[in-house]
């Protein structure tokens, strides 16, 4: 199904119209319950690493920067107490924001019909519903045998499969606007790392040993590649009980990509033109299966306008 974006609306080919402009993101968001966030207490933690390249060749996996160098030197950081989302922001949460703040729709939603609620779909006639069910939602049923209510039920059930997946294909500014609307903010890079590794400097959120059963790092012999529902790996939680800080989707943080204090290694990528992303994504193939990219100290960076199918975010706020 095709969408045509015009100021103020998204118009579907079947005639359904939905407001979807980049409106004000300053409107107050919902009152999230305390259980949606965890408290990271004030105190010191170990940031970065002093690990040196052991000489392994990662060039075949698309690695362009020198390994480990931007994590140097390992250092202690003191942070005041803060709260951080227990899970990555989901499609359900982001959809509430898009509708309430009249904000731009993620690109993948324009093709899968996720934003079309049952109330909106009830506008369509039976022929249009059958076409949507077959072409947009690709339901594995004979839509010719279903009446209106059955079609609506089947579509709604299919849409719910996306609810608990982390929202993806959002830029840094999109993430920032959502957090602000929700009364929160993006975590700083230091906050994200402390929430992921605790105070003992662990290599991964769960400890120091690599374990592909504790995260979504793409396809394995027992599962297909792709994004998974938040919280699918309870054994991969961080010391503070934060889920999916390794794998599933990479996560935007607030900071520009800059060297740590005391790091004298030059890089053309430093400066106020790349934002830091953390955590590693499901990726699907290749280098994403390598533990290097899922360490709590690993730093990745991309332009703030970037959008990928394994890039999302979570929010933080002050106590």
Q: What is the pLDDT of residue 65?
A: 76
What pLDDT shows up at residue 19? 43
Domain check: are 172 and 60 in the same one? Answer: yes
More confident residue, 61 or 243: 243
pLDDT digit string, tens, across residues 43-71: 999 999 999 987 665 555 566 778 899 99
Residue 84 has pLDDT above 80, yes or no: yes
Quick one: pLDDT at residue 68? 94
Q: What is the tens place of the pLDDT at every residue in 131-179?
A: 999 999 999 888 889 999 999 999 999 999 999 999 999 999 999 999 9
The radius of gyration of the chain's CA atoms, rounded to the nearest angstrom, is: 21
Domain-embedded: residue 239:
yes
Q: Do 73 and 156 fall within a single domain?
A: no
236 against 293, higher pLDDT:
236
Residue 11 has pLDDT above 90, yes or no: no
Same domain, 200 and 230: yes
Range of the domain at 116: 3-25+94-160
| 59 & 197 share domain | yes
Q: Within a domain: residue 135?
A: yes
pLDDT of residue 55: 63
Closest CA to 307 of 252, 232, 240: 252
Specify whether 19 is located in the same domain as 39: no
29 band by pLDDT with thresholds 50, 70 and 90: low
Q: Which of 133, 160, 187 is the last residue of a domain?
A: 160
What integer pLDDT is reported at residue 222 of this predicted model? Answer: 60
Q: Does 138 lie in the same domain as 279?
A: no
3-state secondary structure 23-65: CCCCCCCCCCCHHHEEEECCEEEEECCCCCCCCCCCHHHCCCC
- State the pLDDT at residue 289: 65
Domain presence at residue 279: yes
Structural domain includes residue 140: yes
Verify that 149 and 235 share a domain, yes or no: no
pLDDT tens digits along 276-315: 999 999 975 444 468 899 999 999 999 999 999 999 999 9
Could you tell me which residue, 288 or 221, shows the higher pLDDT?
221
Asked if residue 24 has pLDDT above 60, the reply is no
Q: Give the HSE-up count for residue 17: Cα atoms under 13 Å, Cβ half-sphere.
A: 5
End-of-domain residue from the set 160, 175, 195: 160
Domain count, the chain: 2
Residues 232 and 249 in one domain: yes
pLDDT at 4 over 50: no
70 lies in the same domain as 148: no
For the chain, give the secondary structure using H, E and C: CCEEEECCEEEECCCCEECCCCCCCCCCCCCCCHHHEEEECCEEEEECCCCCCCCCCCHHHCCCCCCCHHHCCCEEEEECCEEEECCCCEHHHHHHHHHHHCCCCCCCHHHHCCCCCHHHHCCCCHHHHHHHHHHHCCCCCCHHHCCHHHHHHHHHHHHHCCCCCECCCCCHHHHHHHHHHCCCECCCHHHHHHHHHCCCCCCECCECCCCHHHCCCCCECCECCCCCCCCCCHHHCCCCCCCCCCCCCEEEEEEECCCCCCCCCCCCCCCCCCEEEECCCCCCCHHHHCHHHHCCCCCEEECCCCCCCCEECCCEECC
Whether residue 30 is contained in a domain is answered as no
> Quick check: 16 pLDDT over 80?
no
The residue from 160, 180, 215 where one domain ends is 160
| Residues 155 and 184 grouped into a single domain | no
Based on the fold, state whether residues 182 and 228 are members of the same structural domain.
yes
pLDDT in tens, 85-139: 999 999 999 999 999 999 999 999 988 999 998 999 999 999 999 999 999 999 9
At 7 the pLDDT is 34
CATH number for the domain including 198? 3.90.1580.10
The verdict on residue 80 lying in a domain is yes
One domain, residues 201 and 83: yes
């Amino acid at each position: 199904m095709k969408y045509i974006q015009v100021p103020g609306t998204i118009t579907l080919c079947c005639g359904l119209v939905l407001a979807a402009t980049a409106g004000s993101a300053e409107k107050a968001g919902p009152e999230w319950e305390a259980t949606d966030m965890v408290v990271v207490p004030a105190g010191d933690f170990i940031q970065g690493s002093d690990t040196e390249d052991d000489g392994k060749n990662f060039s075949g996996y698309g690695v362009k920067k020198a390994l480990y160098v931007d994590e140097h030197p390992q250092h202690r950081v003191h942070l005041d107490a803060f709260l951080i989302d227990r899970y990555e922001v989901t499609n359900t949460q982001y959809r509430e924001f898009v509708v309430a703040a009249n904000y731009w729709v993620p690109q993948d939603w324009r093709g899968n019909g996720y934003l079309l609620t049952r109330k909106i779909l009830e506008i369509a006639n039976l022929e249009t519903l059958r076409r949507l069910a077959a072409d947009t939602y690709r339901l594995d049923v004979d839509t010719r045998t279903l009446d209106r209510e059955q079609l609506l039920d089947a579509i709604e059930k299919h849409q719910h499969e996306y609810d608990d997946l982390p929202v993806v294909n959002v830029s840094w500014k999109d993430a920032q606007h959502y957090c602000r609307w929700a009364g929160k903010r993006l975590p700083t890079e230091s906050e994200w790392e402390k929430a992921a590794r605790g105070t003992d400097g662990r290599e991964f959120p769960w400890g120091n040993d690599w374990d592909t059963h504790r995260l979504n790092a793409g396809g394995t012999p027992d599962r297909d590649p792709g994004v998974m529902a938040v919280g699918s790996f309870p054994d991969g939680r961080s010391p503070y009980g934060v889920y999916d800080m390794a794998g599933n989707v990479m996560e935007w943080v607030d900071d520009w990509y800059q060297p740590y204090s005391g790091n004298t290694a030059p890089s053309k990528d430093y400066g106020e033109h790349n934002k830091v992303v953390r955590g590693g994504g499901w990726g699907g193939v290749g280098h994403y299966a390598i533990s290097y990219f899922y360490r709590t100290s690993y730093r990745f960076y991309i332009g703030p306008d970037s959008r990928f199918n394994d890039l999302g975010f979570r929010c933080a706020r002050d106590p």
